[in-house]
Amino acid sequence: MDLAIIVAIDFVYAIATLALISLGLAIVFGMMRIINLAHGEFMVMGSYSASVAVHHGVNIWIAILIVPPIAVGIIGAIIERLIVRQLYGRMVETMLATWGLSLFVVGILTMIFGDITEGVPTPLPGIAIGGYQTSGYSLFVIALSVATMGGVYVILRSSRLGLLARGTMQNADMAAALGTDTSRIYAVTFAFGAALAGLAGGVLAPVSGVFPTIGGSYIGRAFITVIGGGAAPLVGTATAATLFGVINQVATFLSNPVYGEVALLLAAIVLIRALPQGITGRYFRRSL
Amino acid sequence: MKFVITVLRSNWRLVAVGVVGVVLLIALPLLLDTYTLLQITLYAIFGILALSLAFIWGYGGILCFGHSAFFGLGAYAYAVAVINMGESTAPAVIAIVLPAALAAALGYFMFYARISDVYVGVITLTVTLIFYNVINSTAGPKYHIGDALLGGFNGMPNVPSLNVPFLPDNTLEPQNMFVLSMVLLLVVYFGLHWLLATRFGRVLVAVRENEQRVEFLGYDARLHKLVAFSIGGALAGLAGCLFVSWGNYVSPTAFSVVQSAQIIIWIMVGGAGTLLGPVFGALAISWLTVEIGTQQWVNANVILGAILLIFVLLVPRGIAPMISERLVPWLLASRRAAGLARDLSQERSA
């Protein structure tokens, strides 16, 4: 029984982290139909901002929950202004530019912090379940992931900005004709997506350690989840993260995490063949 | 005779490339020391790699962000096979066939699902990321294929060079390696030119321009893209095979995202939609990367990222189209203007 609980926590944790690292990417994709290839680096910048804050004596919870989204959100807003906006409507060029940005940021981080791993302490102790020990922080990450999804749902569903964003997502031309400043909506969305990436980076910093190229270990899974999910950011992320999280975890149990990722990729390629628009392109079409 | 001149005239660029290529092929080994020659061999190998992506991206319109997957697979396939077989003829073939098969399989899932460019880019990139992670994790004695240890992040050292087909004792010296790489570069360049002039090539370019219209005309766009993608994969595998044979070493960085990005940068700098441009892009950027490697104060990724950003934002079509469409007409126009002025002055003096 205790073992079953531990295994269940592992599965839910895999799904929750997948959703957490993908949500920012999914929101930008749902809105602009581009994949931000610098998403991994946004997460790394979040991790570094948390690490710097901790080393300057900031309270650990503030350092991982408040500092990263604000810092990366501001960086995201600047990048939207300088780069993404210049390439508006040219999706391929936008992706190439964010790729250039990703290399640039990795280089800059390596120059500032060096090619070494920095640690952020884990703020929660382990929890004993029967005879087994599990990490209390995993449970926190699960709770936070659920809360973030819920928060985004509330913002999209019941705020005025969310209404404008949903309108722009459905039909940008019509929204613009009705007087919405769509380029401002895009800017806010991009910064919001960046802030969510920063949050994910900050929250996962104690688990994974912080070094300049760690973005590469997240983005593969995040890309797969977003593409598998399709255009609706919340439902797409939730369903794809659940599906891929389970596949990943089963394969990881049977072999090791690397083959878990391979199983994920194969599953995604087969899924794309069957549902080219992702899960939400076929099911839950009117969802968020 | 007149016919020959007409053909030469209408294809003067190709003829010029051929002449320059052959001159370099003969002259460089005589003029340069072995170290420089080795360096130029690498540029020629990267030139082949650049051509493989220039073909599928610039002419096929297939947005492959993970081209290093095929390069790396070719490299590893050659290394594993040659260590097991001790002779390089079959391994070289495997290093071409295996990436082509991967490209065909991947292409089937992507093109027959008719997914968008954005998805193709991201899926190919993800494939490369995962190859990198898998190979990186194979450190230790339990990961081996036959006699070949995969070596994980340490890579595979002491991979034998290519030998004269079916003569395992007759391995290629650096000079021979240079000649082989240069000849293959020229063959690939002219081969792709020929391919683009065939019916297949023309349909492929038409698919890039407007996939729907081509299908209305009765061509199977998916099949054309699939074949082109496989050819690109095969050529990238060939480059990978030559790369390992050149350095006798392969590591997971062959699969890395930075390697993929570099190939894209070659094309962006040289100009998508040309063949010569990307080859020069490969040469210039590879040279630049070597130069950056000799100093400490700025990281190579910063420069590469900045180059990609600057080209996407400011020179989106690359340097080659800029030269052929802006600079050359400008020169011609100024010469014509000068000629016109001369005519006028002659008339006046007459």
pLDDT in tens, A167-218: 888 888 899 999 889 889 999 999 999 999 999 999 999 998 899 988 888 8
CA distance A86 to A105: 19
pLDDT in tens, B339-348: 655 555 555 5
Portion of chain A with pLDDT greater than 70, in percent: 100
User: Taking CA atoms, what residue in B is nearest to A277?
Assistant: B115
Low-confidence stretches of chain B (pLDDT < 50) are 350
CA distance A207 to A123: 11
Which pLDDT belongs to residue B350? Answer: 47
**Contacting residues of B for A107, CB less than 8 Å apart:** 298-305
Q: Is A220 on the interface with B (CB under 8 A)?
A: yes
pLDDT in tens, B118-176: 889 989 998 998 899 889 888 888 888 888 888 888 899 989 998 888 888 888 888 89
pLDDT in tens, B29-41: 888 888 899 999 9
Q: Is B105 on the interface with A (CB under 8 A)?
A: no
Q: How far apart are the CA of B253 and the nearest CA of chain A, in angstroms?
A: 13
Which pLDDT belongs to residue B49? Answer: 96
Identify the three-state secondary structure at position A132.
strand
Helices of type H across B112-173 = 117-136
Q: Using alpha carbons, list the distances in angstroms from residue A50 to A25, A65, A102, B278.
A: 20, 8, 19, 41
pTM summary value: 0.89
Q: Are A118 and A209 in contact (CB under 8 A)?
A: yes
* Bridge partners, residue B250, by sequence: B156
> DSSP E strands: which ranges in chain A?
126-129, 132-135
**Contacting residues of B for A272, CB less than 8 Å apart:** 109-110, 113, 115, 119, 123
Amino acid identity of residue B133, one-letter, is N
Could you report how far apart the first and last alpha carbons of chain A are, in Å? Answer: 37
pLDDT in tens, A208-251: 889 998 888 888 889 989 989 988 889 999 999 999 999 999 99
**Contacting residues of A for B129, CB less than 8 Å apart:** 216, 219-220
Out of B106, B122, B264, name the one closest to residue A227 (CB): B122
Chosen for mutation from B114, B129, B150 (greatest number of chain A CBs closer than 10 Å) is B129
pLDDT in tens, A99-150: 999 999 999 999 999 888 888 888 888 888 777 888 889 999 999 999 999 9
CA distance A180 to A161: 10
